[in-house]
Amino acid sequence: MQFVLTFHQPLAEIERHEHPADGPPALEPWKAYMADLVAAGVMRGGNRLAPPWTATTVRIRGGERQIQDGPFAETREIAAGYVVIEVPSLDEALQWAARSPSSSTGCTEVRPVAAPPA
């Protein structure tokens, strides 16, 4: 089964990762975690996302397109990246999510990949 693990972090943690001096050491746990996923042979893909202030949000309201800089989500934690893993069960996916650095500072969402429409 394939699952997407989405890593949500508080804005302060994302800013720390972007800091020229603090960023490299702060990313070391992430490098180790990703290396473990690869070594276990479960990673199928994924990416770190650019910081939220680089985002553009699109909405259609009343048939009109509205574009805003930034995510402007009403949330305390912001998506910072994701991986696709392939494991035998939800339980194993949850175990990998628990090991994510984001589970200690924010949260890790686990969602099964949906089958393509028939």
The full set of domain ranges for the chain reads 2-112
Lowest mean per-residue pLDDT among 9-13, 29-33, 81-85, 107-111: 9-13
Q: Give me the chain's average pLDDT, please.
A: 91
Helix (H, G, I), strand (E, B) or coil at 74: coil
pTM given for the model: 0.86
Looking at residue 73, what is its pLDDT? 59
Looking at residue 59, what is its pLDDT? 87
The domain made up of 2-112 is a member of CATH 3.30.70.1060: yes
Residues 79, 102 contacting (CB under 8 angstroms): no
Is the pLDDT at 34 greater than 70? The verdict is yes
Is the pLDDT at 48 greater than 70? The verdict is yes
- Give me the long-range contacts of 30-33 (CB less than 8 A, separation at least 24): 30/101, 33/99, 33/100, 33/101
